[in-house]
């Protein structure tokens, strides 16, 4: 494993003195044997002995025989700091972590996935941060294990959330790029990658641990990051701490039953933490993924109030505050929006952008999957407006260029209206004085990216197909 830290990170002197003891908590359910063994060996090899005092492997009632007593015997011989805790029934990732945290004895807890490996000096920079602040949740810089072995670029993105509650990464906004020019400075992050999370153990419990009513998998990293920010804490990526994770689509999330559980987790998090913004989440999930799903009704047995009480006890701020102060770049869709977000061309994967002449153009890069490019959000709303930043898209009568209006957009401006046909992943249709036309990305020879224009609609022309990041179905409201 090459040491992939930047020179500054390698030369830094970390203060780990006052918080010297760490319990690592790695839940596992039917993990591959070699992967789990490499995880443990990597932890032992790359963590200072005097800091890492406990490795808690919490078995969430795995069924694979090789994860049984033989494995425990092996760990006993390998290192007395390893403890295997066995759940007597399947609890799911979230409660399994809580079980681990309750069993942990040291001052700092680090929740890990059981298929991760660690770079040289991964632990000290995390502890350094936790020494200096108590209400802090920190996360290493996570990439794939093979990526880490090849050498690791410094982070350019931080996690946030998508309105459909899928993972969404955001490029560091410019106000942070100014401040975080050196590779060793912790970066505040609105969201978390779920696989590696560290904090003081007492803060973990004071801050409301995890929501134990989240079942199976999913939602907990949103819940923790919303809660931490809203309730007076802070969440950071520590770039000097480098770790690798096996990104995979978990085998147990694909059944219909599992999907229902995960959606319920998401709705639960929205219900408790997102105030009225929960309606946007419900509408985005109906729009993208689960057309038939109903607005959930929670009952006493769901213990929603019990978790809401945390907001009162800890005097937490509103989700509106979180949006405006922690993730201002995410933008807030209007409740009139039918389609919202980046507008990606299906043929080329470039997205709509606004040029310095206030004309519609295209992004310099193709839109990566699961990544948000702030500043290029558009809306088509129920009144037929095609809007960016409160300004209408219109066609200049002389040049026929697509432009943004100078003034705020009103309904019926320029006597034109816009819609999608048939739906998201369809044509963006203009109806107005020029007739019925469709937006197209006209490709030119590279390195030029081409331009956008209105053309006669042609269903067979893929460069006339577009997709907004979000489609909303507001029927539940
Ligand atoms: N896990 C668990 N019980 C479950 C599901 C997952 O203990 O019911 C463990 C799993 O073995 C892993 C961690 O929780 O160590 C996170 O799950 P996974 O890596 O599948 O999630 P992802 O990283 O893909 O989000
Ligand atoms: Mn994982």
Residue 464 CB partners (closer than 8 Å, separation 6+): 427, 428, 438, 439, 440, 455, 457, 458
Q: What is the mean pLDDT of the chain?
A: 94
Q: Tell me how far apart the alpha carbons of residues 232 and 135 are, in angstroms, rounded to a whole number.
A: 7
Residue 28 C-alpha to ligand 1 middle, in angstroms?
Answer: 6
Question: What distance in angstroms lies between residue 248's CA and the mean position of ligand 2's atoms?
Answer: 7
How far apart (Å, rounded) are the C-alpha atoms in residues 113 and 42?
13
Return the closest-CA partner of residue 455 out of 436, 469, 474.
436
C-alpha to C-alpha distances, 150 to 5, 7, 106, 372, nearest whole angstrom: 12, 17, 33, 26
Residue with the smallest CA separation from ligand 1 atom 23 is 195
Q: Tell me how far the alpha carbon of residue 316 lies from the centroid of ligand 2, in angstroms.
A: 30
How far apart, in whole angstroms, are the C-alpha atoms of residue 37 and residue 35? 5
**Is 117 a pocket residue for ligand 1 (Cβ < 6 Å)?**
no
| Number of alpha helices (DSSP H) and beta strands (DSSP E) in the chain | 13, 24
From 81, 86, 82, select the one nearest 29 (Cα to Cα).
Answer: 86
Q: Give the Cα separation of 403 and 392 in Å (integer).
A: 8
Q: What is the pLDDT of residue 378?
A: 98
Round to whole Å and give the CA distance between 38 and 363.
41
The more confidently predicted of residues 181 and 440 is: 440
Comparing C-alpha atoms, which of 226, 233, 230, 305 is closest to residue 266? 226
- In the three-class reduction of DSSP (H, G, I as helix; E, B as strand; rest coil), residue 442 is classed as strand
Give me the domains of the chain, ranges plus CATH numbers: 7-251 (3.90.550.10), 252-325 (1.10.8.460), 337-471 (2.80.10.50)
Cα(2) to centroid(ligand 2), Å: 22
Is there an atom of ligand 1 within 6 Å of 60 CB?
yes
CA–CA separation, 290 and 294 (whole Å): 9
- Residue 475 predicted with pLDDT over 70: yes
Write down the pLDDT at residue 238: 96
**Is the whole-model pTM more than 0.85?**
yes
Which tokens in the block code for residue 156?
């350019």
Token pair of 286 as six digits: 């109906």
pLDDT at position 476: 60
- With a 6 A CB cut-off, is 160 part of the ligand 1 pocket? no
pLDDT: which is higher, 224 or 445: 224
| Distance in Å, CA 28 to ligand 2 centroid | 10
Confidence of residue 444 (pLDDT cuts 50, 70, 90): confident
CA distance 234 to 189: 8
Give the phi and the psi of residue 146 in degrees, each rounded to 5: -65, -35
Q: CA-to-CA distance for 307 and 227, rounded, in angstroms?
A: 11
Please say whether the beta carbons of 19 and 127 come within 8 A.
yes
Q: Is the CB of 31 under 6 A from ligand 1?
A: yes
Q: Is the CB of 113 under 6 A from ligand 1?
A: yes
Q: Give the pLDDT confidence of 400-426 residue by residue, as tens digits.
A: 899 999 988 888 887 889 999 988 899
Q: Is any atom of ligand 1 closer than 6 Å to the C-beta of 220?
A: no
Q: In the 8-state DSSP scheme, what is residue 80?
A: T
Counting every residue written for the chain, the total comes to 477
* Separation between Cα atoms, residue 138 and residue 22, nearest integer Å: 14
* Closest ligand by atom to 221 CA: 1
What is residue 295's predicted lDDT score, i.e. its pLDDT?
Answer: 73
What angle in degrees, to the nearest 10, is found between the helix axes of 69-78 and 33-46?
20
pLDDT digits (tens, 9 = 90+) for 42-69: 999 999 999 999 999 999 999 999 999 9
Tens of pLDDT, residues 112-132: 999 999 999 999 999 999 999
Of the candidates 117, 109, 93, which has an alpha carbon nearest to the alpha carbon of residue 41? Answer: 117
* Residue nearest atom 1 of ligand 1, based on CA coordinates: 93
Given ligand 1 and candidates 113, 142, 196, 257, which is best to mutate, with the most ligand atoms within 8 Å of its CB? 113
Q: Categorize the per-residue pLDDT at 300 as very low, low, confident or very high, splitting at 50, 70 and 90.
A: confident
The residue whose two tokens read 């359910």 is 29
3-state secondary structure 373-432: CCCCCEEEECCCCEEECCEEEEECCCCCCEEEEEEECCCCHHHCEEEEECCCCEEEEEEE
Q: Is the CB of 27 under 6 A from ligand 1?
A: yes
Mean pLDDT calculated for residue range 272-292: 91
User: CA angle, corner 37, sides to 36 and 38, nearest 5?
Assistant: 90
Mean pLDDT of 229-253: 95
Shortest-distance Cα residue to atom 11 of ligand 1: 28
State both tokens at 106. Answer: 């040291």
Ligand 1: which residue has its CA nearest to atom 10? Answer: 28
Contact present, 188 and 235 (Cβ < 8 Å)? yes
Tokens of 446: 């590279």
| DSSP string of 202-259, one letter each residue | HHHHHTT---TT--SSSSHHHHHHHHHHHTT-EEEEEEEEEEEE-----TTS-SHHHH
Q: Is 285 in the pocket of ligand 1 (CB under 6 A)?
A: no
Res. 397: pLDDT tops 60: yes
Q: Is residue 231 a contact partner of residue 311, using CB atoms and an 8 Å limit?
A: yes
Cβ of 100 less than 6 Å from ligand 1: no
CA–centroid distance for 1 within its chain? 28
Q: Which two tokens stand for residue 184?
A: 């060793």
Q: Do β-strands 108-112 and 187-188 pair in parallel, antiparallel, or remain unpaired?
A: unpaired
Strand partners, 196: 112
Residue 392 CA to residue 407 CA, distance in Å, equals 8
Candidates 95, 116, 88; CA nearest to 24 is 116
Q: Tell which wins on pLDDT, 152 or 384.
A: 384
- Position 442 pLDDT exceeds 90: yes
For the Cβ of 143 lying below 6 angstroms from any atom of ligand 1, the answer is no
pLDDT tens digits for 166-223? 999 999 888 887 776 667 899 999 999 999 999 999 999 999 999 999 999 999 999 9
pLDDT of residue 181: 65
């Amino acid at each position: 494993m090459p040491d992939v830290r930047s020179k500054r990170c390698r030369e830094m002197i970390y203060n780990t003195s006052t918080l010297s003891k760490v319990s690592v908590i790695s839940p596992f359910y039917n993990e591959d044997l070699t992967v789990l063994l490499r995880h443990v060996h990597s932890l032992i090899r790359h963590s200072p002995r005097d800091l890492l005092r406990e490795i808690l492997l919490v078995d969430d009632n795995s069924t694979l025989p090789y994860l049984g007593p033989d494995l425990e015997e092996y760990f006993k011989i390998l290192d007395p700091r390893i403890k295997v805790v066995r759940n007597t029934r399947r609890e799911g990732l979230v409660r399994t972590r809580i079980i681990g945290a309750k069993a942990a004895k040291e001052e700092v807890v680090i929740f890990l996935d059981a298929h991760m490996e660690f770079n040289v000096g991964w632990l000290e920079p995390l502890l350094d941060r936790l020494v200096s602040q108590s209400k802090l949740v920190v996360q290493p810089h996570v990439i794939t294990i093979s990526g880490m072995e090849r050498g690791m670029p410094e982070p350019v993105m931080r996690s946030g959330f998508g309105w459909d509650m899928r993972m969404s990464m955001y490029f560091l906004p410019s106000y942070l790029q100014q401040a975080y020019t050196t590779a060793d400075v912790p970066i505040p992050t609105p969201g978390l990658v779920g696989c590696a999370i560290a904090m003081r153990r007492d803060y973990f419990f004071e801050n409301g641990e995890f929501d134990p009513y989240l079942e199976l998998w999913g939602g907990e990293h949103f819940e923790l990051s919303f809660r931490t920010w809203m309730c007076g804490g802070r969440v950071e990526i520590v770039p000097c701490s480098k770790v690798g994770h096996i990104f995979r689509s978990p085998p147990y999330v694909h059944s219909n039953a599992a999907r229902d559980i995960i959606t319920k987790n998401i709705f639960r998090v929205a219900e408790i933490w997102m105030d009225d913004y929960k309606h946007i989440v419900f509408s985005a999930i109906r729009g993208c993924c689960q057309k038939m799903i109903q607005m959930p009704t929670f009952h006493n047995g769901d213990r929603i109030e019990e978790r809401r009480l945390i907001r009162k006890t800890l005097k937490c701020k509103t989700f509106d505050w979180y949006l405006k102060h922690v993730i201002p770049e995410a933008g807030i869709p209007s409740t009139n929006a039918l389609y919202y977000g980046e507008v990606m061309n299906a043929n080329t994967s470039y997205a709509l952008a606004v040029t310095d002449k206030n004309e519609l153009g295209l992004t310099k890069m193709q839109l990566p999957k699961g990544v948000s490019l702030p500043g290029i959000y558009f809306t088509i709303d129920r009144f037929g407006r095609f809007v960016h930043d409160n300004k209408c898209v219109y066609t200049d009568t002389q040049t026929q260029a697509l432009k943004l209006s100078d003034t705020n957009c009103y309904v019926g401006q320029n006597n034109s209206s816009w819609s999608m046909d048939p739906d998201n992943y369809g044509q963006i249709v203009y109806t107005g004085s020029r007739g019925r036309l469709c937006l197209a990305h006209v490709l030119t020879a590279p390195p030029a990216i081409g331009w956008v224009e209105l053309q006669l609609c042609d269903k067979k022309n893929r460069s006339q197909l577009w997709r907004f990041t979000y489609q909303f179905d507001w029927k539940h409201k």
